[in-house]
Structure 1
C-alpha cells in the first residue's frame, strides 16, 4: 500500500501534530459522521384523563361542602339555631381560607408533587366534613346552640382549607401531562369545574333538604361525597413516563426545584404579571359577587329567588358551552392575549348593561345578558390562568396560579363586604338606581379593561418551546463531527 493511500486513524488526524500535505489530506478517507443525538420524542398518555377527572371530582365535592348551609339558609338557621350572618359566614370562610392557604398549597404542589398535594387536600376535606357531621349528633336548642355550632364552624374551616389544593392544580397539571394542543382545554375543564360544582350544589342541596331535620341527612351526604372524591386521586401517577412538550421535559428533568417562594417573588416583581393579576382578580370578584348576590340585586324589582336562580343557571350553562368552544380554539391558535382583551371588554359591557336591564318586567333581557356574561366570563378566567403562566415562564405554574386565584378570592371578600353596605332596596325600587351594580361596572372598566390593554403580548413559554424544538430538529453535533465537517470543506 502506498503512503498516499495509507489510512490515517481518526484520532491521529486531530491529536498528532504533524504536517500533512494537500495530497495526503485529500487521500484521507472520511468515515461516516458520528451520529447526532436523536430528537426527543414527546407523547401524551390516556392516564392524563384520570388526573383531570380526579381534579373535577374534588372540585365538585368542594362545591357541595361549601354550599351545604348557604344553599338552604332557612332550614340551616333553624337546625343550627343561629342567625343568617352565621350562615353567610360558612360561605365567606371559603374565600378567607383560600387567601390564607393558597401559598401553602402552591408550595406543597411544587415540593411534594401534584398527587400528594391532591391527596392531602382530599383528606383535609374529609376530616372537615365528618367533623361537621359529628356536630349533628350534638343536641342543639335556641338556649344551648354552642356545641353543634362550634363543631360545624370548625369542620367548615378545615374543609375550606382544602379548596386551594384543588383550584391551584389545573394549570400545573395541564403543563405536566398535556401537550401544547391540549393545555388550554385541560386548564379550562379543571378551572370551571368549581363553578359547575356550585351550580350542581345549588340545585341538589335544596332538593334533598326538604325540612329542618333533613339538614342532618344533607351534611351526611356531603361527607360521603368527600370520601368518594378521594378515590380517583389514588390512581394518579406523579408524572408521565415521557414528557408531552419541551417545557414539560425541562420541568421534569430538573433535579432541584426552585424554591416556591422564590418563584412567588419573581412573579410579583414582573410588571406584566401584576397587571394580569389585577385583571384576573377584578373579574373573579365581579363574577363571584354577582353570582352570590344576584337574588339580592333583583329582589327590589319584583323578581323571585327562583327567577334569580334562572339567571345564575343561564350564566353558568352558557359559560360552560362557551368555554368548551373557546378552549380548543385557544389550543390551536394560541391568541391568549387578544382573546382575553375581547372577553374582558364584552364582560365589562354586560356589567354596564345590567345597570339598565335590572328593572321590572324585563326577565328576557336579563336572561340574555346573563347568557352573554356567562360566555365571556367563563372563557376569560381559564385564558387568564394560561396567560399568567406564559408571561411568567419559567416560573412554576403553581406560583402564578396561586397568586391569581388568591388575589381574586381576596377581592371577592372585599367586594361582598362593600356590596352588602351599598345595597339599598328603597333606592333601587323607587329610583331604579342599583349602587352595587354601579360599583361592579365602574370597577370592571377601570381595573379590568384599562390594565388588560396595558399588558404586552408575551408568550415566553411558547417561544421557549419552539426554540427547544428547533434545537432538537437541527441537532447539536459533537465537536468531532464539526471538525470533520471543517476538514471535508478544506
Structure 2
C-alpha cells in the first residue's frame, strides 16, 4: 500500500455519497467537495411579502367586482332595467364559475406557476370589468334593456371566472415561500382577504352608489381597480432562490413532475380528506349563505336592511380579528385537528343559537351571536386549508385547495337555492319559526361536527419535515436542489 493510500481519511460509507466502479460491482465511497454533510440552511426573503400583497390585492378587487350590483340591488335594478332575480344572478354566477374554473386554475398554477396563474386571472378580471363598463355606455330603457344587460352579464361571467385563480393560491404560495412557523398566518392573510373584500364592498359600494345613474361610476371605479390590482403581480417572483423549509424544497423540485389531475385523483382517494372536504364545504356554504341572505332572514322580525348589514359586518370583522389571532398560534403549535374541532363545534352551536336570537327587539343578542359566529367560523378557514394540505401530503397544495373551495362553492349554490325555497316570511313573523336557519343548523351539526370528529389527526407534511431536519442534524447528507431561476 502506498503512502498516499495509507493517509486517506477514513470515511463513513453510511453518510457519504458513493460512486459505482465501472469495472466491478464494488461501491467506493468518495469525497465530493460540492456536497456538504452540514444541515441544509433554509432561507426566507422579504420579497415573499410582495407576492402575498399581490394575492390580497387581487382578492379585494374581485370582491368589489363580485358585489358591484348585489350590494345596491335597488339602484342596480333601476340602472339595468331588470328584476331582482337578475341582480341575484350576478352574485350567484361567481359561485357557479368557481366550481367550473377551480380545476383549471389549479392545473394552471401547477403547470405554469403561481405568477402566470395570477396574471391570467387578473387579465380575465380586467376584460370582464371593462366589458361591464362598455355595457353602461349602451342606452337602456324598460323593455329595451337587452344590450346593456347582455354586456353586463357577459362581463360578470368572465370576471367571475378569475376568482378561483386568486382564492386557490394562498396555501400553495405559503408552502413554497414561508417557513413552517409562518405558513398558517400567510394562508390566513391570503384567504380572509376575500372575506375582507366582501365586507369592504358592502360598506363602500352603497356609500358611492346613491342613485341609479351613479351605478355607472361605480362600475368604472371597479374596472380601474381591476387594472391597478394587476401591477403588484408583475413585481412578484415565481420562486424563492433558496427554499424556506424541507417541504418547500421538495415542492419546488416536484412542481412540474406530477400531472395536476393525478394529484386530484390521489386527494379524492384519501378518506380522511373526503371527510375534510365535507366539513370545509359545509361551513363555507353555511357562512356564505347566511351572510348573503341575512337581510331576508331578519326582515320578518322588523330589522331593516341597514341593521342586517351591521350583523353581517360584525360577523366578518370579528372573524378577521379571530383569524389574525388564531393563525399565529396554529403556526406555533400545529394543532389543526383539535383547533378545528373546537371551532366547528362553537360555530354549529351559534347556528343553533341564531334560531332563538333572530326575533323581535333582540338586536344586542343577535349582534353578540354574530360576533361569536364570526370568530369561530373564520378561524376554521385557514386551519381547514392547512389541515387539508397536511392530510394529503405530498399531494400539491393547489390540488387540495381547489377541491376544498370548489366543493364549498358548489354547496353554496345548492344552499342558496334551497334556502330561497324555504324562506317563509309569514311563518317567521307569526310563529317565530325560521325554516332556513333550522336547515343551516341541522346541516352544520350532521355534516360538519360529526365528520370533523371522525377525522384522525394526520400531519404528514409536518412529520416529513421533522424527519428531514433530524436526518440533516444527525449528519446524513440531504441533497436539496436549488430552485430553478424564474
The corresponding residue for 2:109 is: 109
CA contact (8 A) 1:385 1:404 kept: yes
Deviation at 1:9, TM superposition (A): 3.4
The corresponding residue for 1:29 is: none
Deviation at 1:8, TM superposition (A): 4.5
The corresponding residue for 1:277 is: 277
**1:353-432 alignment, distance < 5 Å:** 353-432=353-432
CA contact (8 A) 2:110 2:255 kept: no
Deviation at 1:149, TM superposition (A): 0.4
Structure 1 spans left out of the alignment, 5+ residues: 15-31, 479-490
CA deviations over 1:153-209 (Å, ceiling 9, x no partner): 000000000000000000000001000110000000000000000011011111111
CA deviations over 1:124-179 (Å, ceiling 9, x no partner): 10000000000011101112110000000000000000000000000000001000
The corresponding residue for 2:289 is: 289
Structure 2 spans left out of the alignment, 5+ residues: 12-30, 479-486
* TM-aligned CA distance change 1:254 to 1:364, over 3 Å: same
CA contact (8 A) 1:336 1:383 kept: yes
**Secondary structure of 1:395's partner?**
coil
* TM-aligned CA distance change 1:102 to 1:6, over 3 Å: closer
Deviation at 1:40, TM superposition (A): 1.0
Deviation at 1:413, TM superposition (A): 0.2
Partners of 1:428 and 1:68 in 2: CA distance: 30
Partners of 1:12 and 1:175 in 2: CA distance: 41
The corresponding residue for 2:342 is: 342
Partners of 1:103 and 1:84 in 2: CA distance: 31
Q: Which runs of 4+ in 1 moved over 4 A?
A: 5-8, 10-14, 32-36
What is the TM-score normalised by the length of structure 2? 0.92
Deviation at 1:472, TM superposition (A): 1.1
Partners of 1:282 and 1:135 in 2: CA distance: 36
The corresponding residue for 2:298 is: 298
Partners of 1:362 and 1:224 in 2: CA distance: 42
Deviation at 1:390, TM superposition (A): 0.1
Equivalent pairs counted in the alignment come to 459
**1:66-81 alignment, distance < 5 Å:** 66-81=66-81
* TM-aligned CA distance change 1:212 to 1:455, over 3 Å: same
CA contact (8 A) 2:125 2:159 kept: yes
**1:78-93 alignment, distance < 5 Å:** 78-93=78-93
The corresponding residue for 2:134 is: 134
CA deviations over 1:380-435 (Å, ceiling 9, x no partner): 01100000000000000000000000000000000000000000000000000000
More helix by share: 1
Deviation at 1:37, TM superposition (A): 2.3
Deviation at 1:338, TM superposition (A): 0.1
The corresponding residue for 1:265 is: 265
Report whether the alignment pairs 1:208 with 2:212.
Answer: no
Partners of 1:6 and 1:214 in 2: CA distance: 92
* TM-aligned CA distance change 1:33 to 1:294, over 3 Å: closer
CA contact (8 A) 2:317 2:374 kept: yes
Q: Considering only aligned residues, what root-mean-square deviation do their CA atoms show, in Å?
A: 2.0
